[in-house]
């Protein structure tokens, strides 16, 4: 046995926060990408799996992933197959990963399957990054605009209140509205911010609960523009997941279950369940999935051709590549369209505040004359 495999490796204790609020901790997809790529290289080079895991363990900075790799090493030293070892950590290794490794153990091509997994995870991360970028830019600009308006209302406008009062200026409605907002912020701002912060934290902690998740998923799909991008991203992930599992030799029913769960959206999962039932009943995939009304004609047509030619996995991968390119283009297009709209919105907000300050000043000047 190698030096890396002598004895049982100690597993570090998680922090108090990790024990009591585990939803705050997760292993990033990048960690799995690095793990898959490096383990594929080690296995191809003939390095023992436990030694390879030790090397990856020393490089990772995630405490959760370090403890997970320690536990996997211990299981391997006890004689467990790697598929069983990683299956005990569903929060780190998704079901797709486990099924792919099971197929790799059967075929004896663990290095090849791990390489495919690293590529799959990289492409999935790229698609998710595009969706994040599409929503991040508007959020940042909108947040900065709110901060600017808050500063103007809280610190700039009140300094003019005494001036307006001295000259008994007739305040226009916009100025009265902003003064009311500023007065409310001065009296109850801290309390309001605290309540909003507590509600936001509470919603973040319970975001995984069934009812909350269903509401979030429905609202996300109905958002203008963003909803279409989310649907396209889900379709890309579904096609790529199903294709890579079929290519690895996973049975179609099990592969469909993993791809269905992998959509990450309760609406899609609920409407894909009848598709799975019809698939297992022998109806095929193209017609049931078309009736579900979830995916565009491209994916449905590619599935139909793939079934007819017996190369469904290949056509699913091609469809995923095309939709991924389309997602990238539409994301850039959306940002290009939203940018001037956001600038106009910010200009209107700041202009409204400025007008609320300047208009009474003109009234004061008129009374002086």
Query: Using one digit for the tens of pLDDT, what is the confidence trace for 200-228?
Result: 887 777 666 667 778 888 888 888 878 88
Residues 151 and 73 placed together within one structural domain of the fold: no
Residues 83 and 143 placed together within one structural domain of the fold: no
Domain finish residue from 43, 68, 93 = 93
From CA 94, how far away is CA 33, in angstroms rounded?
13
- pLDDT at residue 333 tops 70: yes
Residues 187 and 71 placed together within one structural domain of the fold: no
304's CB contacts (< 8 A; 6+ apart) are 286
Mean pLDDT of 284-299: 91
Residues 61 and 157 placed together within one structural domain of the fold: no
- pLDDT at residue 365 tops 70: no
For residue 234, the tally of other CB atoms under 10 A from its CB is: 24
Q: How many domains does the chain have?
A: 2
Question: What is the band of 304 on the pLDDT scale with cuts at 50, 70, 90?
Answer: very high
Look at residue 247 and tell me if it is in a domain.
Answer: yes
Domain that holds residue 158: 126-369
Look at residue 120 and tell me if it is in a domain.
Answer: no
Look at residue 105 and tell me if it is in a domain.
Answer: no
Residues 187 and 59 placed together within one structural domain of the fold: no
Share of the chain above pLDDT 90, in %: 24
Residues 236 and 362 placed together within one structural domain of the fold: yes
Domain finish residue from 93, 112, 137 = 93
Look at residue 109 and tell me if it is in a domain.
Answer: no
Question: What is the band of 21 on the pLDDT scale with cuts at 50, 70, 90?
Answer: very low
Domain finish residue from 74, 93, 112 = 93
**Weakest mean pLDDT among 27-41, 181-195, 248-262:** 181-195
Question: What is the band of 316 on the pLDDT scale with cuts at 50, 70, 90?
Answer: very high
- Alpha helix segments (H runs only) across the chain: 16-20, 29-44, 49-59, 63-77, 82-87, 95-107, 110-151, 158-166, 173-205, 210-222, 226-247, 252-262, 266-278, 286-292, 297-309, 312-368
136's CB contacts (< 8 A; 6+ apart) are none
Look at residue 112 and tell me if it is in a domain.
Answer: no
Residues 144 and 54 placed together within one structural domain of the fold: no
- pLDDT at residue 239 tops 80: yes
Look at residue 155 and tell me if it is in a domain.
Answer: yes
Q: What is the CATH number of the domain that holds 64?
A: 1.20.81.30
């Amino acid at each position: 046995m190698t030096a890396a495999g002598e004895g049982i490796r100690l597993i570090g204790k998680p922090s108090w926060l990790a024990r009591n609020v585990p939803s705050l901790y997760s292993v990033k997809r990048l960690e799995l990408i690095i793990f898959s790529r490096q383990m594929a290289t080690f296995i191809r080079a003939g390095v023992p799996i436990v030694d390879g895991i030790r090397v990856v363990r020393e490089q990772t900075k995630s405490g959760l992933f370090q403890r997970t790799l320690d536990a996997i090493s211990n299981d391997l030293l006890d004689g467990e197959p790697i598929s069983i070892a990683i299956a005990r950590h569903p929060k780190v290794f998704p079901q797709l990963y486990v099924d792919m490794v099971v197929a790799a153990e059967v075929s004896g091509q663990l290095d090849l399957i791990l390489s495919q997994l690293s590529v799959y995870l990289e492409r999935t991360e790229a698609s998710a990054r595009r969706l994040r970028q599409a929503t991040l830019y508007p959020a940042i600009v909108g947040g900065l605009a709110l901060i600017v308006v808050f500063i103007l209302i809280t610190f700039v406008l009140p300094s003019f209140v005494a001036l307006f009062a001295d000259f008994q200026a007739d305040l226009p409605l916009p100025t009265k509205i902003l003064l009311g907002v500023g007065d409310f912020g001065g009296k109850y701002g801290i309390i309001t911010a605290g309540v909003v912060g507590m509600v936001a934290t509470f919603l973040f902690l319970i975001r995984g609960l069934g009812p909350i998740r269903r509401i979030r998923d429905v609202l996300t799909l109905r958002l203008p523009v963003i909803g279409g991008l989310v649907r396209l991203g889900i379709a890309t992930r579904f096609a790529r997941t199903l294709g890579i599992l079929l290519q690895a030799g996973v049975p179609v029913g099990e592969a469909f279950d993993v791809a269905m769960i992998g959509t990450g959206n309760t609406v899609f999962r609920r409407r894909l369940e009848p598709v799975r039932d019809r698939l297992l009943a022998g109806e095929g995939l193209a017609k049931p999935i078309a009736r579900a009304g979830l995916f565009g004609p491209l994916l449905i047509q590619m599935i139909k051709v793939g079934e007819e030619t017996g190369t469904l996995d290949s056509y699913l991968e091609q469809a995923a590549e095309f939709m991924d390119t389309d997602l990238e283009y539409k994301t850039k297009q959306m940002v290009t369209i939203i940018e001037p709209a956001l600038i106009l919105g910010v200009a209107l907000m700041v202009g409204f505040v400025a007008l609320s300050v300047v208009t009474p000043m003109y009234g004061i000047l008129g009374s002086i004359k």
